[in-house]
Amino acid sequence: MKSIYEKICIPLIKVNSNVYVFFSGILMSLSINIFTTLCFDEINFYNQWLKYFMAFSILISSALCMIISLRVVNIQNYFLTKQIIDDDEKTDIIKDLTKNKVGVWVSHYSFLSICLFLGIVLLMVL
């Protein structure tokens, strides 16, 4: 878990929080469009439950992007106020700030990737 955290999560924590908000908006719009399309169809729920699951999966991905954005913005504000530019220094600060929450960050990013992958696969298949 430590290697996943250092190789995947730390570079993703360095990504600007506005990127996560942008993707959250796109995923929310996609989920709402799918859900409203399904609501206007006259087909029974039991025949389309995978499509509802797909919309719900994309909606969860959107919420996770927003949660990650809210957690990352404080770290980025710290970098801006202290005017930290060096990438290695940012990595050391992120490791120090999040050393007690490694499992939380790994679970957020892994759950986001699973939900997003599941939603995209179901979108392509259905």
DSSP string, 29-87: HHHHHHHHHHHHS-S-GGGSHHHHHHHHHHHHHHHHHHHHHHHHHHHHHHHHHHT---H
Question: What is the per-residue pLDDT across 51-80, written as a single tens digit (0 to 9) for each?
Answer: 889 999 999 999 999 999 999 999 999 999
Q: Residue 20 pLDDT more than 90?
A: yes
Tell me the pLDDT band of 125, cut-offs 50, 70 and 90. confident
Share of the chain above pLDDT 90, in %: 73
Q: Which of 9, 36, 35 is nearest to 112 (CA)?
A: 9
In this structure, which amino acid lies at residue 65? C
Range of the domain at 45: 2-125
Q: What is the pLDDT of residue 37?
A: 84
What is this structure's pTM? 0.88
Quote the number of domains for the chain.
1
Q: Residue 23 pLDDT more than 90?
A: yes
Q: What angle do CA 120, 44, 63 make, to 5 degrees?
A: 35
Q: What is the pLDDT of residue 38?
A: 80
Q: Which of 101, 52, 40 is nearest to 72 (CA)?
A: 101
